[in-house]
Amino acid sequence: MKRTTGDIPQVAAKEKRWECLSDQEKKLLRCNKNKVSQIHKPGLHPDVLKWMDEEAQRQGVTERGRHGFIVFDEMKIQGSIQLGDEFEIAGLVDLGEFYHNMRSLQTGGERKAEMATHVFQLAFQGCEGFFFPFAWFPITEMEPINIFLHHWDSVFHLKHRKFFSHACLCDGSQANRDFIMGHFKSPEDAIMNKFSIDNRYDSSSKYSFIMDPPHTVRKLRNNLEKNSLTGTGRSFKFNGKHILWSHLEEAYLHDKTNARAPVTSCKIKDSHFQLTPATRMTNHLAADIFSDNMLELLYHYQEFKRGQEGDADSMALTREYLSVAKLFVKTFADTKPIRTMDDQRLVELDAALQWFLDWREDVMESENQTPKERNKAYISDKLHVDLCSMVLGYKSYVCTMITQFPGMGPVSASTNLVALENMFGCIRASNGSNANPTVLQYGSSVHGYIRCRSFKGRNGNASRKLDRRPDQGLDLRPILFVCFIFF
């Protein structure tokens, strides 16, 4: 028997939902539900890439829109073993046959089953907005060598379907950083080569490595937050002046208690300083710190200190830090395409990065500090590499795209992990927002997400509109999204 007594209530509920559908809805569901059955299974499958090609044609993606970059990230899932259809065991680590063969060689033929706790998801993001998650793998911890193998395997198979990846974009986890550094001799070599190499499958173009801008901006805020005069975490110092998180807190409290009107338009709130583990991961709170609002508070507080305490300008370097970081936020939020390498936004990115490089050089040449003090006087080495990758890798990617399509460049605001993280959010919500999905639930939810992500409504306060043609009648994809979850 496939089903046990404990499954009866769940089966009854599914049958009841099925009976509520009209004949047209049932027919459409049967037609689409298992069209690409491989999407439910881990790995990189030809059927999924074929579906990706068909979806691009259906959406009218241009030749240029098939050029872009690969994004990848991990999502936590429930560590449990399930029995799927036809008694297939799901929930174990599955990184492909090559991985298991190599593990067998390492362990002398012994193969131990590991229960997966995360999912490693790869997706393609075209320069005109086309997004498609094409492969996923249940894992416990993704090692750099496995990222290397699956990333370049994806580049190869995507090219055969006429999707061309010119870069990869990821967050700043240590495994991702090691994966990028595996293409270079050292961090200095990566910076010298502008985080780009010859494309392994197209010698006429470059391949770039980009750290996710929102994650990098958040780390700039976190490094500043750990900074203090006591030097227990970091103690930023540049040209003999300090850069302190306390300057921001003092300016905010001064404005809140002395200068703020009962109704104010200032976006800086208590939540920007009273950070919890959850809010510390929120991108917009970090971006708000590097904004005109915070700079205005610092400026007025400095004027107050100058008048009351004779303080000339002790917060000058803190304001410079915020101003430079604001350029990163501004550039990577810009929705206008960059069409030439002389674009003012790229010039500003260069200037912002150069400020950090000058700061690092000033710290390294300081003779009055011990090596430990010099290390604390600048941002962390990991963040320094991420910052260089974000700027230099992105510029290399822009150069490649402009060379491929002169006069038509990429959009900075689309160069991030937002689309993939939104997909993770949809998958969590479809399986209960308070619990992560199992492996079986994840596979079916990805299928439903791909099928229904293009659902648009004509009315309502959402930005998407109903995708409907006169000959089709009502678009049933919203119904399919619910059905995919339950069937």
**How much is the pLDDT for 456?**
43
Q: Which of 404, 422, 453 is the C-terminal boundary of a domain?
A: 404
Identify whether residues 130 and 85 lie together within a single domain.
yes
Identify whether residues 127 and 257 lie together within a single domain.
no
Task: Report how far apart the first and last C-alpha atoms of the chain are (Å, whole number).
Answer: 19
Identify whether residues 201 and 237 lie together within a single domain.
no
Each residue's pLDDT tens digit, 55-86: 999 889 999 999 999 999 999 888 777 766 66
Give the Å distances, CA to CA, from 35 to 38, 48, 50, 474. Answer: 9, 10, 11, 21
Identify whether residues 152 and 242 lie together within a single domain.
no
Q: How far apart are CA 403 and CA 3, in angstroms?
A: 58
**How much is the pLDDT for 2?**
42
Tokens of 78: 């429930």
CB atoms within 10 A of CB 382: 15
Identify whether residues 397 and 421 lie together within a single domain.
no
Q: How far apart are CA 103 and CA 72, in angstroms?
A: 23
Identify whether residues 367 and 474 lie together within a single domain.
no
Identify whether residues 134 and 66 lie together within a single domain.
yes
Tokens of 253: 């409290």
Q: Which of 375, 404, 433 is the C-terminal boundary of a domain?
A: 404
Residue pair 41/80 in contact by the 8 Å Cβ criterion = no
- What is the b/e burial string over 46-59, where b = at least 16 CB atoms within 10 angstroms of the residue's CB? eebbebbbebbeee
Residue pair 44/157 in contact by the 8 Å Cβ criterion = yes
Q: How far apart are CA 308 and CA 298, in angstroms?
A: 15
- Coil, helix or strand for 68? strand
Q: Where are the alpha helices (DSSP H) in 20-95?
A: 23-33, 46-58
Identify whether residues 244 and 176 lie together within a single domain.
no
Phi, psi of 419 (to 5 degrees): -60, -40
Identify whether residues 176 and 225 lie together within a single domain.
no
Identify whether residues 34 and 155 lie together within a single domain.
yes
Residues 6 or more apart from 345 whose CB is under 8 A from it? 331, 334, 338, 412
**How much is the pLDDT for 181?**
94
Residue pair 339/407 in contact by the 8 Å Cβ criterion = yes
Residue pair 302/250 in contact by the 8 Å Cβ criterion = no
Each residue's pLDDT tens digit, 211-231: 999 999 999 999 999 888 776
Q: How far apart are CA 445 and CA 324, in angstroms?
A: 41
Sheet containing 202-211: which strands, arranged edge to edge?
Answer: 131-139, 118-126, 67-76, 164-170, 202-211, 196-199
Beta-strand pair 241-242/237-238: antiparallel
pTM as predicted = 0.83
By CB atoms closer than 10 A (0-12, 13-18, 19+), residue 167 is buried
Q: How far apart are CA 83 and CA 403, in angstroms?
A: 50
Q: Which of 404, 433, 455 is the C-terminal boundary of a domain?
A: 404
Identify whether residues 82 and 109 lie together within a single domain.
yes
The maximal CA–CA distance of the chain, rounded, in angstroms, is 84
Q: How far apart are CA 38 and CA 447, in angstroms?
A: 9
Regions in the chain scoring below 70 on pLDDT: 1-21, 23-40, 83-87, 91, 96, 98-111, 231, 259-265, 432-435, 453-487
Which of 130, 132, 26, 121 has the alpha carbon at shortest distance from 75? 121
**Domain membership of residue 345 as a residue range:** 216-404
Identify whether residues 191 and 301 lie together within a single domain.
no
What total of structural domains would you count in the chain? 2
Beta-strand pair 196-199/202-211: antiparallel
